[in-house]
Amino acid sequence: MDLASLIFWIIAVVLVAAALVVVGQRNIVHSALALVVVFAMASGIFLLLNAEFIAIVQILIYAGAVTILILFALMLTRIAGQRVTNPNARPLAMAVALVVSTLVGLGIIFAATVSQFAQSAPAAQLLQGTVCSLPSNNVIAIGQLLYSPSCYSYVLPFEIATVVLLVAIVGAIVISREEE
Amino acid sequence: MGLTLTHFVVLGAVLFCIGLYGALTKRNAVAILMSIEIMLNAVNITLIAFSFFNHVKPYANLLTGQIFAIFIITVAAAEAALALAMIIAIYRKRQTVDVGEIDMLKW
């Protein structure tokens, strides 16, 4: 077994175990802390796949910002005297949920491994516009693919994403504001 | 490298299922949000794996999967901020975050 496989299996086991802790814990603060492990391990998977920029973004946004946001929300919505802060649904509903999620997972795994769609199809020539040569540096390549005005890039979706973020910021402030 | 695309896709599928199970069974709204974040991460792993194992010539170096992952991260951050704001607003009105008791939109 080579080094990459070893690292993959270590990360995968820790990732799945931490995700199980997130959905299994009775205390929701412990769930939120296990979520940090999930995000950090996912970042390790991204590093393994040569996506350095997204690995850093994952640490910054998910492990940093989103987890802090979740912990703040937990702090602000605490109900005094409640022991089980992360309760489950009724047993019947849990059994149904278990069956549904298992079926979905088996469906995805079937589609990815044994079905005939798993074989690769020949690519059609659909690219339009000038495709510039991209540097091998991951950050520079992603920057060029996101912002470049003249080459093949995702500049318009990027601008739309900025508007989405702006609307989300304004909406979050308006919704959570204390009414007079 | 002994790793194939299947390793990563199956890892993503397992993670997605755990998140789906959590989103379906949890009663605390914040726990449901955390499960949804796990599902989004599973999808990101799958997309970046597709980007890494894509060797078809004109697309191989365009990193499309990674660009998609960046947009998913953006939308997930916006979604987390909005959902937590809504949870806090509901908590102020009803003193609960239990999704079984939040039934204002039920007829």
Q: What is the pLDDT of residues A19-34, one digit of tens each?
A: 999 998 888 889 999 9
pLDDT of residue A128: 63
pLDDT of residue A178: 76
Half-sphere exposure of A34 (CA within 13 A, CB side): 22
Residue B48 with chain A: CB contacts under 8 Å = 45-46, 49, 51, 54
* Three-state secondary structure string covering chain B: CCCCHHHHHHHHHHHHHHHHHHHHHECEHHHHHHHHHHHHHHHHHHHHHHHHCCCCHHHHCCCHHHHHHHHHHHHHHHHHHHHHHHHHHHHHHHCCCECCCCCCCCC
What does the pLDDT average to over A145-164?
88
What does the pLDDT average to over A31-56?
93
Closest CA–CA distance from residue A149 to any residue of chain B (Å): 16
The more confident residue out of A88 and A47 is A47
CA distance A71 to B35: 14
What pLDDT band is residue A37 in, cutting at 50, 70 and 90? very high
pLDDT of residue A47: 93
In this predicted structure, the answer to whether residue B1 has a pLDDT above a threshold of 60 is: no
What does the pLDDT average to over A78-87?
72
What does the pLDDT average to over A144-154?
83
Q: What is the mean pLDDT of chain B?
A: 88
Closest CA–CA distance from residue B45 to any residue of chain A (Å): 7
The DSSP string of A79-134 is -TT-S-SS-B--HHHHHHHHHHHHHHHHHHHHHHHTSGGGSPPPPP----S--PPP
For the ranges A114-123, A143-152, B94-103, the lowest mean pLDDT is seen at A114-123
Residue B49 with chain A: CB contacts under 8 Å = 49
pLDDT of residue A122: 57
In this predicted structure, the answer to whether residue A80 has a pLDDT above a threshold of 80 is: no
CA angle, residues A131, A135, A137, in degrees to nearest 5:
140
What pLDDT band is residue A35 in, cutting at 50, 70 and 90? very high
CA distance B22 to B32: 7
For the ranges A58-67, A171-180, B19-28, the lowest mean pLDDT is seen at A171-180
Residue B100 with chain A: CB contacts under 8 Å = 89
pLDDT of residue A11: 95
What pLDDT band is residue A159 in, cutting at 50, 70 and 90? very high
What does the pLDDT average to over A33-47?
94
Contact between A38 and A59 (Cβ < 8 Å):
no
Closest CA–CA distance from residue B105 to any residue of chain A (Å): 17
Ranges of H-type helices in A49-88: 52-57, 67-76
